[in-house]
Structure 1
Amino acid sequence: MDRLEALKVFCRVVEFGGFSRAADKLGMSTSSITNHIAALEKHFNAKLLNRTTRSMSLTEEGRKCYEQALRLLEDMDELESSLMQSGQKPGGSLRVDMPSIISRLYVAPALPRFMAAYPDITLKITVGDRNIDMVEEGVDVLIRIGELPSSNLVAKSICKTSYICCASPAFLEKHGVPSHPEELAQFPCLSFLKPNSRQLRPWVFEKDGEKLQHVPQTLLAIDHVESMIEAAKAGAGIVQHMSVSVAEPLRAGLLVPILKEWSSPGPDVSVLFQQQHHRAAKIRAFVEFAEALFARASAGV
């Protein structure tokens, strides 16, 4: 028995929640999966899995085996990466998932540079904001905005954001400019409608240690950030959103920042990937590309 291979199969069975799903993902027969697990149990002289026709669970010995096998496999991956990939040219298929606003405003316009630098990488990008299982969906790198759920993934911040209030020049010429967040109640404002809760996102402000929240009273609330920003550019009202979302129209003069001294820190933009893949040349290449991309954006390049 190849114990290392058997441990890999065992870990995939646990992660995919069953023999047949693991067999489909690994391109193996169910009987082969069963043989690997049986050989492990015989070698360790311990039952690793409790199985019924409807469910599967780890025994106490199986839990210990899974936790230690993960560490062993990660160490082996790191060893292989350090020996084999240190001088390896990045190549192969790379699947990346990211929010639509990050894709449209930042990543997509820069892809020609990435493709020219790494012609051996076949890049597959999916765009969305939903929580996904990277292993289940075969994703190599995630880009996410905001608080990250607890996981075994490596998370690396690539951009600090802030919340900015702004409006179109024509709107400000017509309605005037508020000098304090409390004055916003007198102005037409555009609200972001949280897609899941359908609640309005409160606006946040911070100045000299003082923090304020304001829920705009508005006739227009939108659950799509880019549509809300387009409405603001057209003069529909004042908007507050993250700097990464409004940077482009601000640079173009289509929106004008207001209440700048009340700017509040926003969520980070982060890249996430699996620990065992952190030395893979293609993943390292994309992470470095994303870091440089947001460094250029922050510098206004």
Structure 2
Amino acid sequence: MSKALDRLGLLSTFARIAERGSISAAARDLGLSQASASRQLKALEEGLGVQLVQRTTHSLSLSQAGQDCLAEARVLIEGWDALAERFAGEESQVRGKLKVVAPVALGQLHLAEAVLRFQQAQPGVSITWLLEDETIRFAEIGCDLWIKVGPVPDETLVVRSLGRVERLVVAAPDLIKGRRISAPADLAELPCAALAPFEAASIPLTRADGTVETVDASVALATNNIFAAHKAAQLGIGYAVMPRWFVEGELKAGDLIDVLPGWRAKPLTINAAYLPSRRQTRRLKLLIDHMAEAVSAIPGIDGI
């Protein structure tokens, strides 16, 4: 490996190439020429004695060795960032990059503003903000923070609960008109707009005294998109289980009604997932604390 090239720099260039899927795109991000980025990738491959990237005319993919190297490269890069911040001192301006994945609706309607407020307070931090409801592979995408509604299926991550979401059955007034709905069983004859993966054909509801009853739902719409389920409820296509924070305004306006005021669906926890503390940077710790405050301030979410 060329001594003229910093080894950590080579790993950083390789990681960016892997994330962008393109040498030219990575070079633009890093302020390098494409030729320089290619030379750094070649120097790393020669130094390690393996082929990291498989190239064709129109695409670029990682070899198995490249996938293994990427995971280790991220550990080393994150470790260096944490070490540099440690010796920079608490008084220095927080700098660096953070990559955050958040749920689509919550991220779009509330958390996007929260992360922008954080950036205003910490202008030295550059943030990549991605919205995704599906389960991600944390290590593969090079994520710093994953904000997820519901359990985090990755035991290698530290999980911090940010808040608990109240969920209720809502419907358009016209759907309920003339019907007496006083217990979960009364919903059996009505159509349902089910939000997967949280609801399906069976929806358990809990009363304040702890009594649990299950609704055998007649599913008219099944979707993994909260906006679609919400629109179905608005149009009277079916009732839906919605988080209070998402429908609070419509409940107050009377555009949607709380169908069973004494009953609630199982609450969901909003979690922040990240790598163990030995690889945390100060900027990440500050962002997690900031997001915890932002989540607890959202109506319909109880802070933890």
Bucket of the pairwise TM-score, normalised by the shorter protein: 0.5 to 0.7
* Residues 218-257 of structure 1 mapped to structure 2, 5 A cutoff: 225=226, 229=230, 238-250=239-251, 255-256=257-258
Answering whether residue 273 of structure 2 is matched by residue 269 of structure 1, we say: no
Which has more strand, going by share of residues?
2
Please give the alpha-carbon distance, in whole angstroms, between the structure 1 residues aligned to 2:12 and 2:19: 11
Answering whether residue 158 of structure 2 is matched by residue 185 of structure 1, we say: no
Please give the alpha-carbon distance, in whole angstroms, between the structure 2 residues aligned to 1:47 and 1:33: 17
2:290 counterpart residue number = 289
Please give the alpha-carbon distance, in whole angstroms, between the structure 2 residues aligned to 1:63 and 1:231: 42
Write out per-residue CA displacement over residues 157-186 of structure 1, whole angstroms, 9 at most, x where no aligned residue.
32223432245789768422232x222124
Please give the alpha-carbon distance, in whole angstroms, between the structure 2 residues aligned to 1:161 and 1:202: 21
Report SS of the residue matched to 2:297: helix
1:167–1:238 contact (8 Å) kept in structure 2: yes
2:204 counterpart residue number = 205
2:216 counterpart residue number = 214
Report SS of the residue matched to 2:188: helix
Letter in 2 for 1:32: S
Please give the alpha-carbon distance, in whole angstroms, between the structure 1 residues aligned to 2:290 and 2:30: 30
Please give the alpha-carbon distance, in whole angstroms, between the structure 2 residues aligned to 1:286 and 1:3: 29
* Residues 64-75 of structure 1 mapped to structure 2, 5 A cutoff: 65-75=69-79
1:79 Cα shift? Answer: 0.8
Letter in 2 for 1:296: A
Letter in 1 for 2:16: R
| TM-score normalised by the chain length of structure 2 | 0.64
Write out per-residue CA displacement over residues 70-106 of structure 1, whole angstroms, 9 at most, x where no aligned residue.
3322221211122226334457887866556425654
Answering whether residue 160 of structure 2 is matched by residue 159 of structure 1, we say: no
1:5 Cα shift? Answer: 1.4
1:279 counterpart residue number = 281
1:205 Cα shift? Answer: 0.8
1:203–1:240 contact (8 Å) kept in structure 2: no
1:109 Cα shift? Answer: 7.6
Unaligned 5+ runs, structure 2: none
1:3 Cα shift? Answer: 1.9
Letter in 2 for 1:295: S
Q: 1:116 to 1:257 in 2, by over 3 A?
A: farther
2:168–2:258 contact (8 Å) kept in structure 1: no
1:58 counterpart residue number = 63
Please give the alpha-carbon distance, in whole angstroms, between the structure 2 residues aligned to 1:65 and 1:92: 22
1:23 counterpart residue number = 27
Report SS of the residue matched to 2:14: helix
1:5 counterpart residue number = 9
1:19–1:34 contact (8 Å) kept in structure 2: yes
Please give the alpha-carbon distance, in whole angstroms, between the structure 2 residues aligned to 1:96 and 1:73: 17
Please give the alpha-carbon distance, in whole angstroms, between the structure 2 residues aligned to 1:13 and 1:173: 58
Please give the alpha-carbon distance, in whole angstroms, between the structure 2 residues aligned to 1:156 and 1:30: 41
| TM-score normalised by the chain length of structure 1 | 0.65
Unaligned 5+ runs, structure 1: none
Measured on the aligned residues, the alpha-carbon RMSD in Å equals: 5.0
Please give the alpha-carbon distance, in whole angstroms, between the structure 1 residues aligned to 2:52 and 2:162: 41
Q: 1:20 to 1:273 in 2, by over 3 A?
A: farther
1:227 Cα shift? Answer: 7.1
Letter in 1 for 2:246: S
Please give the alpha-carbon distance, in whole angstroms, between the structure 1 residues aligned to 2:119 and 2:56: 51
